[in-house]
């Protein structure tokens, strides 16, 4: 039994790698690939998120790396197999990982956060996933916190070598401006640490979204689509302009739906937003 388990997992990883390669080819024909956060559709840490995302017309899912006791749940081989099997069965990819609990267990002050990120890097390597979102909200907020930023830079410097060896990128998402993010990246000095850009978060704190995208350029590794006011196309976010800014920097990665307003209920609202984004990012 113990000898067969790694073999089955290896086949599952190979299947997922083939799926990701297919999506990469598809990306050559489209401006971006569309995904959704598993927590947005009420499936945090649940492989069923992939089936639901496919039902809603999306290409992939940002999957939560949820802690279970003192470790990450995806350290469990059976859960990894469940995700890899769901990806192969549905044709829906795992776009990236995210450790949302870092908003409550901050990298700047809690040793568990650094340990979980180390585990996450190993999990991402084993499952052939390239990106881990590292959030800085709630208790992890970095605005006006120079000591907190110093602590985060130190932790990232310790984590970066293993991320580089694994081919994994730690993608920082926060309310910080483009300039503040760039300073952090320069201090860390690693190609394995980049920015996860959220257009809604940036707009909410008064930043110029289009200018920020231009400033960050290829430091952006993945993007959250968000409108905090209404369904996409009816709220405050000009996604046509966002598309233009993304095109200017040559961005062809995932555009992941998060924080959707739900006036139609979860599934209908996400489907509406996905269809709207398809009309904007059709590549025409």
Show the domains of the chain with their CATH numbers: 4-280 (3.20.20.150)
> What CA–CA distance (Å, rounded) separates 139 from 22?
39
pTM: 0.89
> Tens digit of pLDDT for each residue in 68-93?
988 999 999 999 999 999 999 999 99
- Average pLDDT in the 128-143 region? 98
> Tens digit of pLDDT for each residue in 8-45?
555 556 555 555 554 444 444 446 899 999 999 999 99
Give me the phi and psi of 59, to 5 degrees please.
Answer: -90, -25
Pairing of β 131-135 and β 169-173: parallel
Angle between helices 48-55 and 77-90 (to 10 degrees): 20
Give me the phi and psi of 262, to 5 degrees please.
Answer: -120, 50
């Amino acid at each position: 039994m113990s000898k067969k388990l790694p073999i089955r997992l290896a086949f599952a990883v190979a299947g997922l790698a083939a799926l990701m390669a297919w999506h990469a080819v598809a990306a050559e024909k489209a401006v971006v690939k569309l995904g959704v956060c598993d927590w947005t559709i009420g499936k945090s840490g649940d492989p069923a998120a992939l089936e639901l995302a496919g039902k809603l017309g999306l290409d992939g899912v940002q999957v939560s790396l949820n802690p279970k006791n003192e470790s990450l749940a995806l350290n469990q081989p059976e859960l990894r197999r469940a995700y890899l099997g769901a990806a192969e069965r549905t044709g829906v990819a795992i776009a990236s990982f995210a450790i949302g609990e870092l908003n409550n267990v901050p990298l700047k002050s809690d040793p568990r956060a650094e340990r979980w990120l180390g585990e996450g890097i190993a999990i991402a390597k084993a499952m052939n996933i390239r990106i881990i979102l590292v959030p800085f909200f709630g208790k992890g907020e970095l605005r006006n916190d120079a000591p907190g930023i110093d602590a985060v830079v130190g932790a990232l410097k310790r984590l970066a070598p293993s991320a580089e060896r694994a081919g994994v990128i730690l993608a920082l998402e926060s309310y910080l401006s483009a300039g503040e993010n760039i300073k952090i990246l320069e201090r860390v000095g690693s190609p394995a640490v980049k920015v996860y850009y959220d257009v809604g978060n940036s707009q909410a704190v008064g930043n110029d979204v289009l200018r920020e995208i231009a400033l960050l350029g290829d430091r952006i590794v993945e993007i959250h689509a968000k409108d905090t006011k209404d369904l996409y196309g009816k709220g405050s976010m000009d996604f046509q302009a966002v598309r233009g800014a993304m095109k200017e920097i040559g961005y062809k990665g995932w555009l992941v739906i998060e924080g959707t307003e739900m006036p139609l209920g979860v599934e209908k609202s996400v489907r509406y937003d996905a269809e709207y984004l398809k009309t904007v990012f059709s590549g025409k």
